[in-house]
Structures are given as C-alpha cells and as structure tokens.
Structure 1
Amino acid sequence: MKEFSIFNLRFLIFNILLAISLLTGCKARSDTPPPPAHLLGHLPASAKEQTLVLYPEVTGNLMPDLTGVCYVPFGHTDLVREIDPGLMLFDQIFDLVIPVTRDAKGRIQQDLSALDGYLEGVTGSGARPLISLDFTPTVLSSLPHLENSIRRSVPPVSYEDWEQLVYEVVRYVVREKQVDAAYWSVWNEPDLGMFWNVEHSPYTNRAAIARGSDLWTPFRMRTGAAGQFNELGRMVEYMRLYEATVRGVRRADPTARVGGPNTSSFRERWIAVFLNQCAERGLPVDFVAWHYPGYPEEMRANMAWLQETSAKAGIETPAVVITEWNADHGNGWDSWTETLESLDIIEGMASSGVEAAFYYTVGRLILTDTHTISPLGTAFQNLSMLQGRQIKCETTAGSGALATQDADGVIRAFLWSQAADPERISILPGIGADLGSFTSYSLNIYRENAPLMTYTGVLEQDGVVSATLPGGGRRMVTVVFHTGRQMP
C-alpha cells in the first residue's frame, strides 16, 4: 500500500474532476459479467386467488443477509433474538461511546472498555457487528471548541493519530474481546457537509484558470456552484481518511473486511472516484456501501452500473452493503404499508446481488411499550429463515415473493400482497418441477388485523398446497416444503 502524500494530490484531483465531468452513465460492455438473474416473475392478476409457482431447478445467488439492523437495542435482546437479524450496525463511536483524550506527553488515549456494552448487545442478540469508524474525536478536531456536531465533522488534524486510534479499536474488538466483526465501514455520509466538513480552497484555488477541453470548459468551471468545489474537497480528503483507516484496520486484523464510501444515497460520482482511487492506490475495497436503495428496477440498474464502473477501474466488482435504509421516509405510513413497501425493496436487493443490508432502525421492528414484534419485525423474522440458494418463483401480479432451497433440500418461500380480496391461496410446482422428494409442508398466513393461520399436512402427489382465506386483509405467507418423514 503506497503512502499518501501531498505530491499525490494533483493526480487525485485530476481523476476526481475527470470522473465528475465525464461520468454520464455507462453502457454494457461485452467483458462485464451479467447482473444476477431476476428470479421473480408475475402471473396475471386475479381477484379470487393468490398463486405462487416454484421452480427449484432454476437457481440464483445465495440468499443474502438483508435483515441487519441499526442500532444496538439495550434491554430488548430477547425480542431481537426472535427476529434473528444476523447483523447489527453501530456508529459514532468516538467521544460519544469511546472517550478519547491525550496523556501528559500528548499521546492519544482511549477507554475501549466503553465498547463492551455495545459488543455484548450485539453478540447477545445473536448477531455480528458492522462497526462504522466515525466521527473525529475532539482531541483530533481542528475546531475543538465548537458545537458537538461541527467539531466532529472535520477531518482529523493528524492522520497518523487517527490510524493508531483505529488500530487500537480493531485490535480490542477482534483480539481482546474475540468478537467476529462482519464489516468495518469508513465514516458516515461523507458526501454531506454536515458529516464531512472540508474546506475546498486548498484543492481548488487554481481550478478557475485550468485548461483542458477534454476535462471541462473554463467557463463552466468558473461558474460552477460553490457546492461543487466543496464536494471536490470532500472527495479528496475522504480518500486520505480512507487510506489511513485501512492501514489501521488491516494492521490490527489482516483479514478484516473494510469498505466505503457509505454515502447518503447511490452517488455515482462518489462511488466512481472511490473505486478509481482505490484501484490506483492499491487500497482494498471489500465492499461498497451506500444508504437508501431504490425499488427493484432501480436497484438492479445501480448494480449493473457498479459492475461496469468496476470493470473500467480494472478491479473486481466489490460486494455491496446497504448500511442504512427504510421504506417510510417520513411518509407516516401505517405499519402494514411500511412492511409491504419494505418487502418490495428487499426483493430488489436480493435479486440484484446485494450482500447485506441494515434497517434503520431496530425500533421499527420491535414495539418496546408492548414488548411485541411489529408486522415488519414479523417479516424480518421470516426472511431470516430463508437459507441457501434463491430459486425462481412466479406470483400473482401485485404480489411479491422470495424462495430458497437449502443444503438439505428444504424449500422455503415467503410471499406478500397488498391486495385484500383473494379468497384462496395456492402454492404449486412450475412446469417441469419435481417436488416428489418432499413429504410434508407447513404454511403460515399472517393477515392484517387477524390472528395467525397455521396449516401442516402431507404433500399430495401433485405438490399443490392450497388454503381458503376467510375474509380480506393484506397478508404475508410463509410455506416450507420438508424432505423428512416427520411432520413439522
């Protein structure tokens, strides 16, 4: 890994400006791997019956872990264990969690035992942590006397001290506490000035007189908004931060998975610059992270763009981790609308190849006042049971579904519907599908404002499972086809 120096900044700025000026979208290249197969098809709409057709011989990616949550739920680990999130994120660890000071000789000191409660909250919930390394502690801030959010949003005054601080955190978590951290992400939403406040003039004071028709026109650059220059400064400084952080992480744990840029949304310019500069500097990118994915078609388009951009940078397409998302966005939806909208987004992430995702926040999944699980928490609970490879399925228009087959051959499917009128639900094998090895099934139907309906039985020769729906209501359905002889 090369050392970052001021000498490198001209080359870095050139690449950033080139990406900003030329990045207008990508067309597919012949040497770019195709995106994951889209395994969900739709049947004609029906007012009478909701149908799910399974094709276990058509498989896709392994089912990703899309039921991760933000943040650590102190005092409610029993409810969280029922949801079984698998992954849990916590951030803002410096100062707000870990006190960071200097000793009499000016050396950085940190009380890492302050992390213990968070680590115990994660592992006690049966999850693995993603730890976001942010924000700047007061002792490393250039604005130590200002309000909390301002002083923590500026770059560290010493990247050497920052690297050592990161090293100590990773060493403590991995070596001393023996916690298996799933991911280490670098900062939170650096594309926003409120979280990454960088003065651009050291990097842009000559931009207005620069020339190069292949890069930009002087007129356009002179008349560019100040925000564009601020973004340039943030990009340059973020790469310095990322490099120092990677050094600290990998020095403590050479096998650690580290990534960024953890932007507030899918920001093409930021991600393209990040990938190009990591390729140029020889920096590891174990995953690319951003917040708030779109619905299925948008998510698949973003993943295709990422594959193309990675190929242009000359690197393998990194894994994708969505480090913050929800469907509500302040719309004030009722719990069932939020649940079903969230499931549509999850289907898009699963079908496009996202590796992991973290829902913001765990408080939407559990109802602490009544100590119960919300409809969305129930959905996450069932999604966490989908194991193995995704398989193709078709469902009635207006519905969504995901299905998997695990290493033991067990098929699990989860489907959902906004429609409240179907009188019957049927699950059946597709043309050419052989369900002869399955001996029994279990079926759970969760309905809005209605008790859970549960069915178990021996699978008939035709492999069809049907149930009558007494009354309307939006619903979620799980079905499991068992290979053993015993009834579930």
Structure 2
Amino acid sequence: MRIQVPDQSSGRLSDAWRFCVGTGRFELALRRDYQDSLALIQREVGFRHIRGHGLLSDGVGIYRPYSYQGSRQVRYAFTYVDQVIDAYLELGIAPFIELGFMPRELASGEQTVFWWAGNVTPPSSWTQWAALVRATIAHLVDRYGIDQVRGWPIEVWNEPNLKEFWADADQDVYHLLYEVTASAVKEVDASLQVGGPAISPGADEWLVRFADFVAQRGLPIDFVSRHAYTSGPAQHVPFGVHQTLAPATDLLAQFARPREQLRGSALDGLPVHITEFNSSYRPDNPIHDTAFHAAYLAPVVAGGGDLVDSFAYWTFSDMFEEIGVPTALFHGGFGLLTHRQIKKPTYHLYAFMARMGDQLLARGEDHLVTRDADGRVTVLAWAPVFPAAGDSHLLRLSIPLAGKESGPAFGLRSRVNEQMGNAWAAWNEMGRPLSVRPRQLETLREVAEPVRSHSQLSIAAGRVELDLVLDRHEVTLVEITAVKDETPPWWDDDRMLG
C-alpha cells in the first residue's frame, strides 16, 4: 500500500531530541579526544546542552577546605570548571548542570559509586553544602552572566532512588537535599532554573511523593526530570554484559509517565526533561554499537518530542569510565562515537535528524517526513525491529513537492544497516583488534560513513512516488529537491567523446 503524504504541514517537528546530550564525568572534558569528539558532533548534529555527573566531586576540585591560624576555612577553586565550560561554549553547547556528587571532605560517609569513586552520602554539614552550591552557581553567574546562566537547567543529584547513587536510597533525606539545594540556587538569583528528582526507571512512586513534598513546603521547582531505559538484568561475561530489551515503545511510555503522574498536582504543567535515556543502562553492552540499535531507537527519536520537553541520549562519546578504562575500541559503550571519533550507526540516526526540515508532513511506525523553508522534503525511514526483523522492509510513499507540478527532482539517499555505515561490523571482520593500528583506524572511519546514492526522480501532478527497500536494521535518509534545469541548449551527452 502506498502512503499518501499530506500536502500541508501538520505543525513543527519538535527538536526536543537535540536539547541535551549526556556525557561522562565532568573533568573528562579536559581531554583532547573528548573535545575532538564533541567538536565533530556539534558540527554534524548540534546539541544545545550537555549533562554529566561529578561537577562537585573531588576530580573537579571545587571544594578545598584548609586551616589557617587555627581556623578551618574553605576555598572554592574553579580552575577545571572554567576550562570545561569555556570549551563547551566555544563549541556551541551549554551545560545542563547536575549538582553532585559529594566532596569527600564534606561527606558524611565513605560510600562511593563507579570506578572513579563519586561519593554518594549526604553532607556532614548542610550549611557547608548550601554554601558550596551558592558559591558554584554564583561563580557561573559572575563569569558567564545571568542572561546566559538562567538558560542552563540545574538538576539536584542523580538517581537518588537507587542505593548505589544515594546512601540507603533514603527519600526523606533526598527531600532535605532538594530543599537546601534549590533554596541555595534561588538565593543566587530567583530566575535560575532548578529541578529534579532525576529518578531512574522503576521508581514512579518517588515522583508522586516528591511532588507532594515540594508542594507542601512551597519549594521552588522549575522542571521535573527522570531517566528511561529498557534493558533487563545484566548477564555478565568478561568485560561485558548481555541483556534482554523491551520494545522501544516502552521508552515512549516512560517518557509519558511523569505528565500522567503529575496531572492535577501542584507540578502539573512543568517542563519534563528525560535527562538520560538509552536501551541498556550498562556502558559495556555491545548492543550500543550495532545497526540494530539505530533502527531500535529511530521511532523514539522521531516521536519523543510529543511527550517531553527534552530527552538526552546517554552519551555522546565512549569517553566514559564508570566501570573502568575500556579495554577495546568497540566495547559496548554508551557513546554515539567511539574513542578516536568513529561514528556508530546510532550517530547517523542523530545526524540524519539534524538534516531534516522543521515542517512535519507525516509520521508513521517506520517513517518521518518533513519539509524545510526551501521546499526540500526529507524522509527518515527505518526497518522495524519488533517483531523480529526480516531481510528487507518495503516502504512506499507518495510525496508532495510544493510549487512544482511536473519535471525532474533530485534524490539523495544515505543508508546505514548491517553492511553499510557500520564500523562495528567491519571491526568484527577484522578480528576485533583490541588496539587498532593506524591503517585499521582509517579504514573504520571510512566504512563508518553512510553509503550514499543519488537518482533523478519524476514529479507528476506535484508528487514524487518513492519506493524504498530497507535492508535488515536499516535507517535511511532521503532528501528530495525539485530540479531547475539549467542545461545549455547545445549540450549533447552523445558527443562526450567527440
């Protein structure tokens, strides 16, 4: 059956998918490979904010207590903070600030999370914690200006519903943390955005209790945040895991849940930010590196903006060390890019979205069609992965080209699937080298690019009939532009050789 794409736009395509992207811990941004990767992704995708853990942890070095003449005092050092945020802004991306984790010398306990040992215990002094928050936010306002910083959302902690991220997963103590932190932020400037509770999946009851607490105490809150993942328990193998996955529609259901839960509450109508999402919550699951992953997430990236104000892919790069230094180039990392800037298939899903227009024409279970201000029509199509994918998938569209009743059109198709634009598959065929040689690295970069083809299409009655055969786990972008023929009258292809 051929799908008739409407002539008129049904509205603007949400760009909630590019509002924010995740990153490894804050100080990793000081590394060259990190900044090279971020520069690439900003050129070809262009995210607006970036969020990661560890701003207040010891690796960034803000909280520096000392004794002088018998008096204990604190110096707040922003040496690394300034370098990182300066680099972000130079690349056209701003922080989505996560306030965490606890500096060791301000912590009430020894519990840590991750290989890099972020402390996850409450502060030993709530007064000192509030002072740290005020000093950090005030420094940002002083350095970058209130007009800029009021556009940077400020989130209180990360996944406090999990005992791994907040001692005993004590919700009452988290509520106190939120109250002290949000109040300290607003003391700097009332126009700053603060929110939470950044809960992980499976803790929906936390959000309802959090909303009640904030309302009863009359606390400031400007947005609500949570995370979304669809993987089951980890099945461990050396240096990796395998997990079952729920259908990607479960991600969309998780996106929708905060608004459903908060309907009629004091927080009803607040912006909702999904500050982390992915299939697996593990940074060593090989599914992240595959063509399957791009096709799996395509309907989420195409449609998630109808449900939330933003949803941040976790993460932009494999520069990420929660469970230690990776042992291979492809290791199942969260990133859209590997170390050394090799593009994964899911990178191209985002790069394709960045090339689409903002006028929404059609959206279905396997396609998204848009138009831009110049009349260029773009089709994002994907082979569904649930139920189990076959060898190919046929999509037939009838597409309007505004202002042109007949004549030729130019079509450019970019493809990623099990064989095309798939560096992970090539790395497998190389024997999965743990340390790639320079020639292998260049080869992987080359084969990571989408396979592009072009053709002349026919416009009849203002429409182009487009038939797409998508291979297994394929994501395709087709760009269609009406042709203005400027061939001179003397041109004769038959005389190319004289």
TM-score in terms of structure 2 length: 0.68
SS of match in other structure, 1:77: helix
Matched residue, 2:295: 340
Aligned residues: 393
Deviation at 1:383, TM superposition (A): 1.7
Pair 1:190–1:351, CA change in 2 (3 A)? same
Pair 1:486–1:63, CA change in 2 (3 A)? farther
Matched residue, 1:65: 17
Q: Distance in 2 between matches of 1:264 and 1:246?
A: 20
Counterpart code for 2:137: V
Asked if 1:90 corresponds to 2:52, the answer is: yes
Within 5 Å, give how 1:172-211 maps onto structure 2.
Answer: 172-178=139-145, 180=149, 182-198=152-168
Asked if 1:170 corresponds to 2:137, the answer is: yes
Counterpart code for 1:96: G
Matched residue, 1:356: 311
Matched residue, 1:152: 119
* Cα displacement string for residues 24-78 of structure 1 (whole angstroms, at most 9, x for unaligned residues): xxxxxxxxxxxxxxxxxxxx6xxxxx96845644336633134623234234333
Q: Which moved more, 1:453-462 or 1:132-141?
A: 453-462
Counterpart code for 1:241: L
Q: Distance in 1 between matches of 2:471 and 2:263?
A: 49
Matched residue, 1:379: 349
Deviation at 1:277, TM superposition (A): 1.6
Question: Does the CA-based 8 Å contact 1:416-1:477 persist in structure 2?
Answer: yes
Pair 1:361–1:76, CA change in 2 (3 A)? closer
Matched residue, 1:29: none
Deviation at 1:188, TM superposition (A): 1.0
Pair 1:267–1:148, CA change in 2 (3 A)? closer
Within 5 Å, give how 1:286-325 maps onto structure 2.
Answer: 286-293=222-229, 297-302=249-254, 305-325=257-277
Pair 1:459–1:140, CA change in 2 (3 A)? farther
Asked if 1:262 corresponds to 2:216, the answer is: no
Pair 1:55–1:258, CA change in 2 (3 A)? farther
Pair 1:417–1:51, CA change in 2 (3 A)? farther
Q: Structure 1: which 5+ runs fail to align?
A: 1-43, 45-49, 199-230
Q: Distance in 1 between matches of 2:4 and 2:83?
A: 44
Q: Distance in 1 between matches of 2:375 and 2:465?
A: 18
Matched residue, 2:75: 109
Q: Distance in 1 between matches of 2:72 and 2:217?
A: 31
Where relative contact order (Cα < 8 A, 6+ residues apart) is larger, the structure is 1
Question: Does the CA-based 8 Å contact 2:367-2:379 persist in structure 1?
Answer: yes
Question: Does the CA-based 8 Å contact 1:53-1:394 persist in structure 2?
Answer: no
Deviation at 1:275, TM superposition (A): 1.5
Deviation at 1:393, TM superposition (A): 2.5
SS of match in other structure, 1:427: strand
SS of match in other structure, 1:373: coil
Q: Distance in 1 between matches of 2:97 and 2:87?
A: 13
* Cα displacement string for residues 70-116 of structure 1 (whole angstroms, at most 9, x for unaligned residues): 23423433322233233311221121213412243333322112112
Counterpart code for 2:382: W
Deviation at 1:155, TM superposition (A): 1.0
Q: Distance in 2 between matches of 1:90 and 1:423?
A: 38
Q: Distance in 1 between matches of 2:118 and 2:343?
A: 38
* Cα displacement string for residues 217-246 of structure 1 (whole angstroms, at most 9, x for unaligned residues): xxxxxxxxxxxxxx5xx2111111112211
Asked if 1:415 corresponds to 2:385, the answer is: no
Q: Distance in 2 between matches of 1:65 and 1:485?
A: 34
Question: Does the CA-based 8 Å contact 1:108-1:161 persist in structure 2?
Answer: no
Question: Does the CA-based 8 Å contact 1:259-1:289 persist in structure 2?
Answer: yes
Question: Does the CA-based 8 Å contact 1:83-1:381 persist in structure 2?
Answer: yes
State the identity %: 20
Matched residue, 2:211: 275
Counterpart code for 1:280: Q
Question: Does the CA-based 8 Å contact 2:375-2:402 persist in structure 1?
Answer: no
SS of match in other structure, 1:106: strand
Deviation at 1:485, TM superposition (A): 6.5
